[in-house]
Amino acid sequence: MSAVPSNPDQRGEHGSHRVLREEVAPLHTVLVREHLVAWTAGNVSARVAGENLFVIKASGVDYDDLTWQGVVVCDLDGTLIDGVHSPSSDTAAHAYVYRHMEHVGGQVHTHSTYATAWSARDQEIPCVLTAMADEFGGPVPVGPFAIIGDDSIGRGIVSTLTSHRSPAVLMRNHGVFTIGATAKAAVKSAVMVEDVARTVHIACQLGQPLPIESTAIDALHDRYQNVYGQR
Ligand SMILES: [Zn+2]
């Protein structure tokens, strides 16, 4: 942890884990650029490797003003450890997921339009696109209805995603929560889930989309996760 700043405006801000906070702050611009968030809704978090801590966007901070100081440090109970702002109202949910899913290094939450529309109908997004098989390994599931502020959302995310390959869950009547090995991977899933939610929605307007056979889904998912891209 670096020294306490002498600037009185920064009282309560010890600048700990600044590198990770500087990495997470600009990831929020992707949410804005991809039209996944309105006003201050939505947030990105990242686990602090090797410590029982994570960093998360502060509550109600404008995306235009978001610097590393708009990203605060919390422990895995969601208690603020460093930062002058209150953490996101979704902090308890993120904390619960980090406590119960050790492989998760980053999380994203949005109310992106098409994906959230599926959640409002309590309908999973069926796996009818090869891009869905690649990224999600099957349908994108819907999680239970849960109120904001306690462990309910976190419990719903963990219970739904532990039985799916999907890194994204549509929490019913609420929105998208994604997990990843890193915050950037979780951002990618948040972008991809909105993209496929839109395409499959349009397909449903035109007729009945054709399902992909489970063996083909498995093969596509395996190839994309293990072979695709620059090695
Ligand atoms: Zn929300």
Q: What's the pLDDT at 3?
A: 46
| Stretch among 57-66, 134-143, 162-171, 175-184 having the lowest mean pLDDT | 57-66
Going from the Cα of 173 to the center of ligand 1, the distance in angstroms, rounded, reads 10
With CA atoms as reference, report the closest residue to 188 among 229, 148, 135: 135
pTM of the complete model? 0.93
Going from the Cα of 109 to the center of ligand 1, the distance in angstroms, rounded, reads 7
**What is the distance of C-alpha 95 from the center of its chain?**
12
Going from the Cα of 35 to the center of ligand 1, the distance in angstroms, rounded, reads 15
Going from the Cα of 217 to the center of ligand 1, the distance in angstroms, rounded, reads 30
Q: Is the predicted pLDDT of residue 79 greater than 70, yes or no?
A: yes
pLDDT digits (tens, 9 = 90+) for 110-137: 999 999 999 999 999 999 999 999 999 9
Q: φ, ψ for residue 50 (rounded to 5)? A: 80, 0
Going from the Cα of 116 to the center of ligand 1, the distance in angstroms, rounded, reads 10
Q: Is the predicted pLDDT of residue 92 greater than 90, yes or no?
A: yes
Going from the Cα of 177 to the center of ligand 1, the distance in angstroms, rounded, reads 9
Going from the Cα of 174 to the center of ligand 1, the distance in angstroms, rounded, reads 6
**What is the distance of C-alpha 69 from the center of its chain?**
20
Quickly state the pLDDT bin for 103 (edges 50, 70, 90): very high
Average pLDDT over residues 129-152: 94
Going from the Cα of 6 to the center of ligand 1, the distance in angstroms, rounded, reads 36
Residue 63: CB atoms within 10 A of its CB come to: 17
